[in-house]
Structure 1
Amino acid sequence: MGRRKTNSVLNRWIRSYALIMLIPIIIMVVVYIQTKHVIEDEINRANSALLTQLQQDIDNHIDYTYRLSEMISLNPRVRQLMRTPEHLEAEDRIAMVQALADFRTYNSTNRYVDHFYVYFKMGGFVLTESSYYDTSMYYDLRLSETSLSPNGWKQFLGKTYRGQFINMQEVKGQANTGILFAQSLPIDERNTPLATLIIELNEEKLLSAIRNIQAYNQGNVYILDGTNHILASSERDHPGLPDFANLNGELGFVQGKSNGEDVVVSFIQSNRTNWKYVYVLPSRLYSEKAEYIRNLTLLMLAAAVLICAALAVWFARQNYVPLRRLVRSLAERSKLDPGAALNEYDYIEEAIENTMDRNHQMNQMIEKQKNVLRSNLFIRLLKGRTENDFPVREALAEYNVSFRAGPFAVVLIFLEDFSGFFRPHETDLEKKREMVRLIISNIVEELSSKTHQGWVVEIDELLACILNVKPQMPAEEAEHDVLRMIEEAQRFIASRFHIYFTAAVSKLHESPAGLPAAYQEAIEAMEYRMLLGTQTIISYEQIKRQIMSYVYPLDKEQQLINYVKAGEFALAKAVLDEVLHVNLTGQELSIEMVRCLMFDMISTMMKAAMEANLGQTELYEENRKAIQELMSGITVAAMKERMTLFLNKVCNHVDSRKKSHNFRLKEDVLEFIHDQYSDHNMSVNTISEKFGIHPSYLSRYFKEQVGDTLTDYINKLRVEKSKQLLRNDEILIKDICDSVGFYSISTFIRLFKKYEGVTPSLYRESSKY
């Protein structure tokens, strides 16, 4: 209200009075500034003393951390374990137990070290002050609840540290707060470190001293390292931090801003650790003591001002009150800010003109909203959200829409691609979609109006055209004419505007009451876009006859798995193409069964990848994306292409892994197993002795090359051989068990049921039919 008030009679008097009161106000400001400076100096000296005490206290704790790191580095058991391989010997385990006892002694008297552990790179294990863990177990127990991944943790431990303090929040994914001390071991070597020592300082104990200072004056305390990064603070979050880059020298204070508020930053630097101890205190707290004097002065000044102002205002109001009532009345009705006018009379004139403009704008807005209201009414009709006694025709008449007596149909339009219509620099996607919808709506409505009536409305990311077919037109002719009209619209829009879409057409319904059913039919037809492809026209009549089962026999699934495990991409693709061809050619498979078939085949490929022992994360991520696209309505052709690419990647990976090893050894081992499978004593140890290699290496090598463990492969071979013998009823099951190499019949029955799903006797009975 500034401009109107400064030109009113009442406010002219207020300006004069303000000039008189300016002299005592200036005097009060000078006194207040001087008082504030004196108080600031006193508070700064007190803060420096507190920071000095905090520095001395924490430096003592840091000295203990350095001593603890040195003791662990020089511990002979730790140095012995640094060069220990992954498989621990007896003497290594004894050294580990002794190291654990030493660790408990080191940390038994200090309350500022919360936890420490040593990560040994060669052995791949972690030693804490209380126990021994392999890396995965330690991660599950201590770090699994954070967002720090196992690889991220190992990368963090794999770096080289030279007695470095780190804020836990700087470790990517680490959710905890506090300070870590990291030291690569051994300290006296400059080569690649063999182990990493991590010491976690007890945050609560460390921050207790900080909070004592914070409680003194309600400020915030920070501990910075040599590069001015925050190691610890009295607050969890650090929004709007002041600039710490200008904290130069060993002691002092500077002005700054924090969270948009003026603050005073006091600091002191430690000579031992090169850390800075910073105390950030809002400037407003400096002035609290000076405010008492200022408030007292203001109180006396305000009393005098109020007494004088009250008398002046009382006399001025006698003539000003009627005009003010008129301004208030206009302000309540016009919603205008009286302060925008030069004076009261200008405001009255502006209010009248604004009222007339708003009336004109309101009429224009009502006209524009008719299309929106009409669209909402059409959406209610399509979704069946109108009451039985709702006057549909009367409501539509308000928007110049009149249904004829002919039947109704619904056409749904799904936008496929409209990138060719716009220039590359046009990036506003929503504006582009709005333009495309407008073009399609106008063209479809114009084409439908040649014979029928049509209205296009946007609904659930689709465009729906409500068609009121010409009365007395035969149903078959009307259906053909609707399809012809949609084909013409699709062809014209694609050729002239490079906009491509898929359309779904419902059956004809006799009255507007059938619009919800027609809409659902069009939705069901649109789902077959996945099967029939994009940029097509799908009628509900095409999808009525559906087959509710698909053909995907177990032998084909096993063939696909075997080809993938063998890295045979051409054969695996042939099986994939065969299954899809059998199910999708020459029969009308329902869309639900198509999705089930796709899910089934994706599951097969995932199973094959896992049985091939592939640890490629990107392969599984790609398969997950394929499932998401399948749920969102990707076409069968696109899904087949994605599955083919996935098969190619898996087979290439299997094939490359086979070529990187001695493939001849695999063939010799397989030949030996097939020759000696009936030997009861054949095992991993006997086979490794046969070929002169270590059992553990043979197990890993066989798993990489074949996909199954050595034991599983032998058991599967024996079960397969027993199946051939079980077809002969004259051979006893016990004799079959002995002849294929099983020690006991119970083991034979258990493994046969594991791999075949039935017992040997049930298998023998089923093989007769």
Structure 2
Amino acid sequence: MPSILRIKMKARSVFFKLLLSFLGVIVLLVIFELLTYGVFRQSLRDEIIKYNTVNLTNTTNDYEKHYELLEKTMLNLYLNPRLQELNSKPYLDYVAANKVTDYLSNIVSNQALYLNNLFIYDVKHSLMLEKSRGASPESMFTEYYVNPVYTYSFWKKQFEEGGPMTIYPAASYLRNDSPGDTTGPVWPMLVKSRFYPDFMMLAFVDADRMFQAFHRSVNDNFYVLDASGRLLFASGSAADKPLPALPPGQDWVKADNQYFFYTTGPKTGFTYVNLVPDGHISSQLIKLNLTFVAVLLVAIAASVTVSVLFTVRFNNPVQRIVDSIKSLNEQDTVPRHDNEFELIRGNIGFLLQQRHLRHQDLEEKHALLRYHSYMNKLKKIRGLPVAGAEQLSEQKPFRVVLFHLSFNHPFHTEIQAEEERAASYIREYINHVVTKELEGSLTFQIERNQILSIIHPAPEEEDRLRTTLDGIVSVLSTDKAYCFLTIAVSPLHAHTASLTDAYEEALGLIRHRPFDDETVVLEAQNVPQEPFVVPDALMQEIKANLQAGNAANVLQALRRLMAQMEKRKADALAFHEFAREITHKTTRLLHGIGLDSGKLTDLEPEQLHTVSKLDRYFEAMIGEACRRINNKKEAADPIITGATAYVTERYTEDITLDLVASWLNITGGYLSTYFKEKTGINFLDFVNDVRIGKAKELLRQTDLRIQDIAGRVGYQNMNSFNRMFKKITGVTPSEYRRSGTQM
């Protein structure tokens, strides 16, 4: 019985109640976690299925884009001048045929197309051309590429009846000219054009290489079926498994412990299927279960341990208070209580009595405290604002010292602190040092990144001001990887009425600081003010290379300019204006040719403090701009491709708009309008850019006379050549040759 009473007494104690409260909270949290996990586990399987669906969607998109690329590549062959030359003669021109064969070999060698071979069927001459030979269709498919399904009779029928683009099931071909050699599984892809009935294109696409490049899944089980359900390709163990029917409105189905994911290509209508075993998805759920149980057990154990420790730490001070009360109340006039808080509440009267007994003693000591308070007020130990308000009314000469803070990228990535908090710490340090060394100074923060000190130096204290600033530089330079300061010292002013002028002078000094990330002290006599002017010829070269999408040449020219600016010791303002000018010209050029000019880089020129950072900024911005320009140029466009190829190959000849338009079988007016719309420049300007570009190469790399160079690049009149060269480059050919690589 006594033991039961003792247990009941302990159950009413603060320690026991507090521990039970913590345990109750832990139980509630565990229940919440279990409920959350139940909901999460139900949705996890859906997320895994969604992940596999997204993988198959990406695979499908890659396959469909590649089919479209191959189709455009084969359609462009119809416009190739080598093919037109072969078709222009009534007899078989073997020289022209060899040119076509060489061109096919170049296309097949392009690894990005995943081609095993490419054939052109010349209907007029009954000739089949491929990357290494030409032969009759019958010989080609009975002697060189042999397959029991894709025989000569099969292809003859397809040549006569096939549609504009047809892709057939993958198969391997035996190479009789190389005994034992096979092509491996290839997809035959037949392309026809009703505008060019004399030729048909047949590509052998390497199915295995496409699979390795485009397929995304946890295994290699993959199907491709055409619109009629015929199997075109299967990999892994997929070839041995039948496909279950897909329920309407779903993109996956489970059958025989396997998940089958389906998508349909928008261009070809092909059905792509990934097969994922149920065991793979279940294993991920089992791992999650084990991980959750382990984490939950550890969390419960840690929570219980922390609860016990916290309860003990909380109960100990309460127990000491109770012991103190008992020791003070030795007469035990207060009844006994069952828990500690009741005991404390019951002894409040005793404590009030003790307070009354000590009140007189406190009043005597309070008089002493008032005395010290008056002394502090007399000495003006009340903070900087009071002292500053009195100083602003004084008729004393003063200087303004402006501290401008700049934070580097590692400050945000490594320290991950707020700039405002760091600025407050630096302000407190500067205030401590300046106030200590220069009596009567006032320091306060006026902007997020600016700290201002007003100094009243006596003539003999000027050297102390320099020494104090040097000490601040020495201390803050230790953190130069994270931030640096620009310290601007204004000239001496006679009255505080000139405070605004002094502040503006200090701001001007900061704008002309050196272009680096060192903490420096600037005064009016040591800040260079000579402006830097960018040569027009170099700006013209940058613009021309940017229009051509040549990032390497643009960056080379920019680096030459930055080297000149470094040599001339250009200040930060000049570098920032230069960066803004290049950025503005780049965005204007992109806008002028109809491209998106936004978000070329995440940085702003004002965030750059060194030449290396500015160089990385230009690399990112110019690289992105040229990528957009080149993407537009590389878009499959037979007219632009044909026109630019004609100019770059025949720039030495007499080129006119009507001549190139006639070669492309279109009108000159249409070519002029279309070329301007797609490239952003006039056709004749493009011709002159190509010719002057070739002339610049010859001027730099050869010792030919300028008259000979003009003739080699298509100018028969020296005056026209000189006028156009200066218009594009800004200098004459002779001046360009003399300047060499310094331009």
Band the TM-score falls in, shorter-chain normalisation: 0.3 to 0.5
TM-score normalised per structure 2: 0.36
Name the TM-score, length of structure 1 as normaliser.
0.35
